[in-house]
Amino acid sequence: MEDKIEHAKELIEDAVRNYPRIAVACSFGKDSMVTVHLAKEVDPNIKVFSVMTQYHPRETFDYLKLMDKKMNLGITVYMVADSVPEALKDGSLEVRLLPTEEFNQEASQIETETGNRIYAINPDECCQLLKVEPTKVAVSSLDAWITGLRNTEGITRVDFKEIEEKGGLIKINPILTFTEAEIWRYIATRGIEPHPWYGKGYRSLGCAPCSNPGEEVERGGRWKGTSKCGGECGIHTQRLK
């Protein structure tokens, strides 16, 4: 595992050297916390951003605030919302609000037609508007971004590479070969406090309606019961620039 850690740091070091306009994406799941910890060890001033949605649980907002302070992340949050959620109102946090019209229109049309919520009927569209589009804004001024993708998380992540390029945007995946057990070992040995939902049996975290605990496959609880089960929100599969 020490070899993997050294290799991850080398990837980050090279990326920071080659791409001055770089940032780490952080969802505040376990893999993100390892990635930002490694990145901050390489470059304490590296930028960190997070895309949050109105459907993330209160615990994630509280955890974000806590870890932003503890790890000195200096995080910028991007969010489709009219106002900053109560839980994120904190003078130390930068929250960039993005327009809500398109999402509200889509969501209310689906609710009117089906009597159900957009994430249950069309999770792809929900993720597109609440996650992918805000991520495009977050990376618009970057040459490269660093993520916590891992090959063994699920079938959709097997083929990702450590360094990727789409539309001129470089993506670095420094912990790609870490196993789930290695992630937990890193977290334990570095004294990183994990998101409280891991104590409830969750193995992969996202928005509350689309995350479920107790699955045999690591990402099996994501979008459970939909055609998107165990899949991707789109930020790692689509061109963002």
CA 232, 234, 235, 236 dihedral sign is positive
Tokens 């939902």 label which residue?
197
198 binds ligand SF4 (CB under 6 A): no
Q: Considering the complex, state which of residue 127 and residue 187 has its C-beta at the smaller distance from ligand SF4.
A: 127
Query: Is residue 236 close enough to count as binding ligand SF4 by CB under 6 A?
Result: no
Q: Which of 57, 154, 174, 206 binds ligand SF4 (CB under 6 A)?
A: 206
Separation CA 130–CA 234 (nearest Å): 11
- Total residues binding ligand SF4 (CB under 6 A): 13
What count of other Cβ atoms lies within 10 Å of the Cβ of residue 130? 27
Among 81, 149, 172, 207, binds ligand SF4 (CB under 6 A): 207
Which listed residue (23, 130, 175, 183) binds ligand SF4 by CB under 6 A?
130
**Residues found in the chain:** 241
Interface residue with ligand SF4, options 210, 229, 235, 240 (CB under 6 A)? 210
Pairing of strands 76-80, 169-172: unpaired
Between CA 191 and CA 82, with CA 197 as vertex, the angle to 5 degrees is 105
**Binding-site ranges for ligand SF4 (CB under 6 A):** 53, 55, 119, 123, 126-127, 130-131, 206-207, 209-210, 233
